Amino acid sequence: MKKGCKFGTHRVIEPKGILPQPAKVISNDMAIYDNEILIDVKTLNIDSASFTQIKEEAGGDEAKIKEIMMGIVKDAGKHKNPVTGSGGMLIGTVAQIGPALEGTTDLKVGDKIATLVSLSLTPLVIDEILEIRMNIDQVDIKGKAILFESGIYAKLPDDIPENLALSVLDVAGAPAQTAKLVKPGQTVLVIGGAGKSGMLCLYEAKKRAGVTGQVICLQHSDKAKDRVMDAGLADDFIVADATDAVDVLRKVEEVTGGNMCDLVINCVNIPNTEMASILATKDDGTVYFFSMATSFTKAALGAEGVGKDVTMIVGNGYTKGHAEITLQIMRESQTLRDIYESLYA
Q: Which does 48 bind (CB under 5 to 8 A by kind): ligand NAP, a second copy, none?
A: ligand NAP
DSSP letters spanning 176-230? HHHHHH--TT-EEEEETTTSHHHHHHHHHHHHHH-TT-EEEEEESSSTTHHHHHH
264 binds ligand NAP, rule: CB under 6 A: no
Binding site for a second copy (CB under 8 A): 5, 7, 9, 17-22, 84-87, 116-118, 120-121, 150-152, 173, 243-246, 272, 274-275, 283, 289, 292, 294-320
Q: 47-73: b or e for each residue (b if 16 or more CB lie within 10 Å)?
A: bbbbbbbbbeebeeeeeebbebbbebb
- Counts of helices then strands in the chain (DSSP H, E): 11, 14
Query: How many chain residues bind ligand NAP (CB under 6 A)?
Result: 32
173 binds ligand NAP, rule: CB under 6 A: yes
Binding segment (CB under 6 A) for ligand NAP, from list 46-54, 101-109, 204-212, 251-259:
46-54
Integer Cα distance of 7 and 290 in angstroms: 24
- The side-by-side arrangement of strands in the sheet containing 112-115 is 124-133, 138-147, 37-46, 88-97, 112-115, 153-155
Residues 196-225 that bind ligand NAP (CB under 6 A): 196-198, 218-221
Binding characters for ligand NAP, 129-168, by CB under 6 A (x = yes): ----------------------------------------
Q: Work out which of 138, 269, 281, 286 binds ligand NAP, going by CB under 6 A.
A: 269
Integer Cα distance of 77 and 25 in angstroms: 6
Q: Work out which of 91, 94, 215, 267 binds ligand NAP, going by CB under 6 A.
A: 267
Cis peptide before 15 (omega within 30 of 0): yes
Specify whether the CB–CB gap between 260 and 287 falls below 8 A: no
Q: Name which of 17 and 110 has its Cβ closer to a second copy.
A: 17
Binding characters for ligand NAP, 272-311, by CB under 6 A (x = yes): ------------------xxxx------x---x-------
Closest CA to 145 of 240, 248, 73, 75: 73
In single-letter form, the type of residue at position 267 comes to: C
Q: Work out which of 21, 28, 43, 86 binds ligand NAP, going by CB under 6 A.
A: 86
4 binds ligand NAP, rule: CB under 6 A: no
Element spanning 49, H or E: helix 48-57
Binding characters for ligand NAP, 238-257, by CB under 6 A (x = yes): ---xxx--------------
Neighbouring residues of 272: CB distance < 8 A, sequence distance ≥ 6: 243, 298
Q: Name which of 94 and 275 has its Cβ closer to a second copy.
A: 275
**Counting beta carbons within 10 angstroms of the beta carbon of residue 15, is it exposed (0 to 12), middle (13 to 18) or buried (19 or more)?**
exposed
Q: Name which of 133 and 180 has its Cβ closer to a second copy.
A: 180
Question: Min. distance of Cβ 10 from a second copy in angstroms?
Answer: 11
Q: Name which of 85 and 161 has its Cβ closer to ligand NAP.
A: 85
Residue count of the chain: 345
Whole-number CA gyration radius for the chain: 20
The residues binding ligand NAP (CB under 6 A) are: 47-49, 86, 170-171, 173, 192, 194-198, 218-221, 241-243, 267-270, 290-293, 300, 304, 315, 317
